[in-house]
């Protein structure tokens, strides 16, 4: 177990989320030193425990998502379970939930009710469409948020079925935006007499916030950007180019970078062409420039291309698989590949800690918990007697 030196040491979080968005936000806070108590339903636990590849009945994804957390198994559908949750929240700085809007209210746990016993409570609420608006009651997952937020329309190749990126990027974007909100609310609480507040985070809004010039271009020109494969429309050259043994990504879209790139591939004519000295001109001739680069890369190995472009100070890189990531010396030097041992004794590589703080760094202090592993310890901290804990377990309210 690693000593906690994180900047959020002493901050207490209750996580009532499941799957990805809420738990990812809580994981980020836990990595940075917060104490995170995760409430899970008895017997089944968070569904993420059963997602994708399992080892001895538990997803290895779970081990990365739930590190540094404590698991308390409480049945929130029962009144006594709801009361236990209220007691935990009364002593928390932050509550994270990603249920459908209205769920907590139906359990008597609205922010107004919870803050009566905890005026400093900060509540992060992540949902598909937010707590207000005509769509608030619709079920929403990350993939739907990606579609509504404008991202899915941009993915893939023109004229083909829009594709997803292969990750739950909508959930993760919402989690990170929500975490920014939590940290902002903690700062505001210090300057507002210790009063907390609610952060209302919608999945689609987090995605929409990352769509760059999409809306301004439509507003000004009526332009509707569409999918463009591996290129970045209007930014030239920035694309994937074929080599003898794979593809190389080249970002030569800065004016001086473009000059160096063209000289490196032996196309001084394009480097000196007055029509191509700025991005506007290059974007008008994107096909011509991309063809010139492809003509050069396709006759060379990926390694050769990368070496030449590195010498010319042109941003370029290969497309990494997770095997490449796992074995890459830069990832290792930056401590982005860390090792944990699960409760079942499996040694796993997991992503390291970000952001990297110089004086109060985050850390992986303990492995992901088994279901209900910390129920007794946490409830005893609340002052519950052993006999009462036993009774609650017999009634199926806790595990």
pLDDT recorded at residue 3: 82
What architecture is the 238-321 domain classified under in CATH?
2-Layer Sandwich (3.30)
Q: What is the residue-wise DSSP string for 97-159? A: E-SPTTHHHHTT--HHHHHHS-TT-EEEEEESS-SSSTTTTS---HHHHHHHTTSGGGSS-TT
Give dist(CA 55, CA 63) in Å, integer.
Answer: 10
pLDDT recorded at residue 77: 95
Tokens of 191: 């300057």
Tokens of 148: 């509504």
Per-residue pLDDT, averaged over 373-382, amounts to: 96
Backbone angles phi, psi at 333, to 5 degrees: -65, -30
1 has a pLDDT exceeding 70: no
- Residue-wise pLDDT tens digits, 149-186: 999 999 999 999 999 888 999 999 999 999 999 999 99
Give the model's confidence band at 317: pLDDT under 50 very low, under 70 low, under 90 confident, else very high.
very high
192 has a pLDDT exceeding 70: yes
Active site residues: 171
Give the model's confidence band at 232: pLDDT under 50 very low, under 70 low, under 90 confident, else very high.
confident
pTM: 0.94
pLDDT recorded at residue 61: 95
Give the model's confidence band at 5: pLDDT under 50 very low, under 70 low, under 90 confident, else very high.
confident
pLDDT recorded at residue 374: 98
Domain boundaries, the chain: 12-209+332-394, 238-321
Q: What is the DSSP letter of 398?
A: B
Q: Which residues are within 8 A (CB) of 105 and not within 5 positions of it... i.e. 6 or more apart?
A: none
Q: How far is CA 172 from CA 25, 146, 282, in A?
A: 8, 11, 34
Q: For 394, what's the count of Cα atoms within 13 Å in the CB-facing half-sphere?
A: 6
Q: How far is CA 358 from CA 6, 353, 355, in A?
A: 10, 12, 10
For the chain, how many residues are written?
399
Indicate the CATH number for domain 12-209+332-394: 3.40.50.10540
């Amino acid at each position: 177990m690693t000593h906690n030196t994180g900047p959020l040491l002493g901050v207490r979080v209750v996580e009532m989320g499941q799957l990805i968005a809420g738990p990812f936000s809580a994981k980020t806070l836990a990595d940075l030193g917060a104490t995170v108590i995760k409430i899970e339903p008895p017997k089944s636990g968070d569904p993420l425990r059963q997602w994708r590849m399992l080892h001895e009945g538990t997803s290895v994804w779970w081990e990365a998502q739930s590190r540094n957390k404590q698991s308390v198994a409480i049945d929130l559908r029962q009144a006594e379970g709801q009361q236990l949750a209220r007691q935990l929240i009364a002593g928390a700085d932050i509550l994270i939930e990603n249920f459908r809007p209205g769920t907590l209210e139906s359990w008597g746990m609205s922010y107004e009710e919870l803050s009566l016993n905890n005026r400093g409570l900060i509540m992060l609420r992540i949902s598909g469409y937010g707590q207000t608006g005509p769509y608030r009651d619709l079920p929403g997952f990350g993939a739907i948020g990606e579609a509504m937020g404008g991202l899915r329309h941009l993915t893939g190749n023109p004229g083909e079925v829009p594709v997803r990126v292969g990750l739950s990027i909508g959930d993760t974007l919402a989690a990170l935006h929500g975490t920014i909100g939590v940290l902002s609310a903690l700062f505001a609480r210090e300057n507002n007499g210790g009063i907390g507040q609610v952060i209302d985070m919608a999945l689609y809004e987090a995605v929409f916030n990352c769509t760059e010039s999409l809306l301004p271009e439509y507003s000004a020109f009526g332009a509707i950007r569409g999918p463009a494969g591996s290129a970045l429309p209007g930014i030239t050259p920035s694309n994937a180019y074929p080599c003898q043994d794979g593809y190389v990504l080249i970002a030569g879209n800065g004016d001086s970078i473009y000059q160096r790139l063209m000289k490196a591939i032996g196309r001084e004519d394009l480097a000196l062409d007055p029509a191509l000295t700025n991005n506007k001109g290059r974007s008008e001739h994107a096909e011509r420039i991309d063809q010139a680069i492809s003509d050069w890369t396709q006759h060379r190995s990926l390694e050769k291309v990368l070496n030449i472009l590195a010498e010319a100070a042109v941003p370029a890189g290969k497309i990494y698989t997770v095997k490449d990531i796992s074995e890459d010396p830069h990832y290792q030097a930056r401590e982005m590949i860390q090792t944990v041992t699960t409760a079942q004794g499996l040694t796993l590589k997991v992503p390291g800690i970000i952001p990297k703080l110089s004086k109060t760094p985050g850390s992986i202090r303990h492995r992901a918990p088994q279901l209900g592993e910390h129920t007794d310890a946490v409830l005893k901290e609340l002052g519950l007697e052993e006999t009462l804990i036993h009774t609650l377990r017999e009634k199926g309210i806790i595990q």
